[in-house]
Structure 1
Amino acid sequence: MAVSLREDRPGGSVDYFLALLQDRLPLWLSILHDLSHRIGKGSVSDNLLPIARAGIEYYIDVQSAALPAFTSPNVTVRFRQAVRETGLGPRAETAPLAAYLAAEQRLGRVRPEVDPEASARLMVAGCFHRAYIEMFVGADAGPAREVSAREIVRELRLEPVPEPV
């Protein structure tokens, strides 16, 4: 398998990475889509915290397989084609999160100046970054996963600030 992960051939790095995505991505997407059942319930931050936790876990799972998939321009082009053909691109991840934020915004539970799409991308990026740091530098290189998840959600600053009394 080590040889196939370094080569651009059937059963190689792109196929391995796509197989891993096809295994892990449905669960990750179902977690994101389940947010639609939380609209108007609990607090927005409390609803997003399990998403941040799951995002960090998901990216830790898939990043190690992603690296060998980008060993040459030919492999990268092949991967991009496969992503387009399967619809497994980044929009599949951010769309349900952005839809949740937009729905909460319509209810007044997310600040009106928040851009749901940009916030969704930032949340996913924060999860990806946390996983990346852990994979390359080690779990002790930054805050614990739980602390990181809380920081990601908190720093999006989505919820309206209460009026002073």
Structure 2
Amino acid sequence: MGTRDRILDAAAAVMREKGVAGATTKEIARVAGCSEALLYKHFPDKTTLLLRVLGERMPSFTAAAVPGEGEVAENLAAIAHGALRFYLRGFPMMASAVAQPELLSGLRDSLAPHGAGPEVPVAAIADYLAAEQRLERVDPGVDPAAMAALLMGACFQQAFLAHFRGETELPRSAADALVAALLAPLRG
């Protein structure tokens, strides 16, 4: 395993254990078995490191759903299952940042230039649904932005509840039931 991968693995582990707020580059470097200087050769700052952890060490739920391909409900179900896993794994990392207004503001400001943030997947799903509406594969009465927000909000809430209960995974059957109920209006 290369140095960059060791640093990413260490960063993911430290951020899950201590949260983004409590994770220092010094601790990450120690866990990775390298110096802070070497860490900074691979990642110019902690924000870039966080973005790479989120992009490379977390389950993806922004997988491309291509308008006109596959079944709409199945495409969204795949995204929702990924979102549930992402949110469940992400709570331990991000909760400390959200709890501190100054840190949250800094995180928000540092993510914006990278086109990253919690609104990005919601917008992508809304765009996908609007495209499927134009193809007449989604009921014209469905509000794409509202459906996208509802889907991601429900996933976030269910993942939070599972995290609160101390669960590290959601039962597939529970996730399937949630997704089926949320996506029923799409079938018009």
Which TM bucket (shorter chain)? 0.7 to 0.9
Q: TM-score, with normalisation over the residues of structure 2?
A: 0.65
Partner of 2:60: 28
| Between 69-78 and 116-125, the greater mean CA deviation after superposition | 69-78
Partner of 2:125: 97
Q: How far apart are 1:102 and its partner, in Å?
A: 1.0
Structure 2 portions without partners, runs of 5+ = 1-13, 28-44
SS at 1:110 equivalent = coil
Partner of 2:150: 122
1:135 is aligned, of 143, 151, 163, to 163
Indicate the percent of aligned positions where both proteins have the same amino acid. 29
Q: Is the 8 A contact 1:102 1:116 kept in 2?
A: yes
Q: Is the 8 A contact 2:139 2:186 kept in 1?
A: yes
Partner of 2:137: 109
The separation in 2 between residues aligned to 1:40 and 1:71, in whole angstroms, is 41
Q: TM-score, with normalisation over the residues of structure 1?
A: 0.73
SS at 1:74 equivalent = helix
Specify the code of the residue in structure 1 equivalent to 2:54.
Answer: R
The separation in 2 between residues aligned to 1:121 and 1:103, in whole angstroms, is 16
The separation in 2 between residues aligned to 1:73 and 1:106, in whole angstroms, is 41
Partner of 2:31: none
The C-alpha deviation readout for 1:84-114, integer Å capped at 9, x for no partner, is 2332122321222112111111122111111
Q: 1:24 to 1:7 in 2, by over 3 A?
A: closer
Q: How far apart are 1:67 and its partner, in Å?
A: 1.1
The C-alpha deviation readout for 1:46-66, integer Å capped at 9, x for no partner, is 221111111101111211111
The separation in 2 between residues aligned to 1:4 and 1:59, in whole angstroms, is 14
Q: 1:29 to 1:134 in 2, by over 3 A?
A: closer
The separation in 1 between residues aligned to 2:187 and 2:18, in whole angstroms, is 49
Specify the code of the residue in structure 1 equivalent to 2:89.
Answer: D
Q: Is the 8 A contact 1:45 1:154 kept in 2?
A: no
SS at 2:124 equivalent = helix
Partner of 1:163: none
Specify the code of the residue in structure 2 equivalent to 1:152.
Answer: V
Q: Is the 8 A contact 1:69 1:75 kept in 2?
A: yes
The one of the two structures with greater contact order (alpha-carbon pairs below 8 A, sep at least 6) is 1
Q: After TM superposition, which residue ranges in structure 1, 4 or more long, deviate above 4 angstroms?
A: 1-12, 15-18
RMSD of aligned C-alpha atoms? 3.2
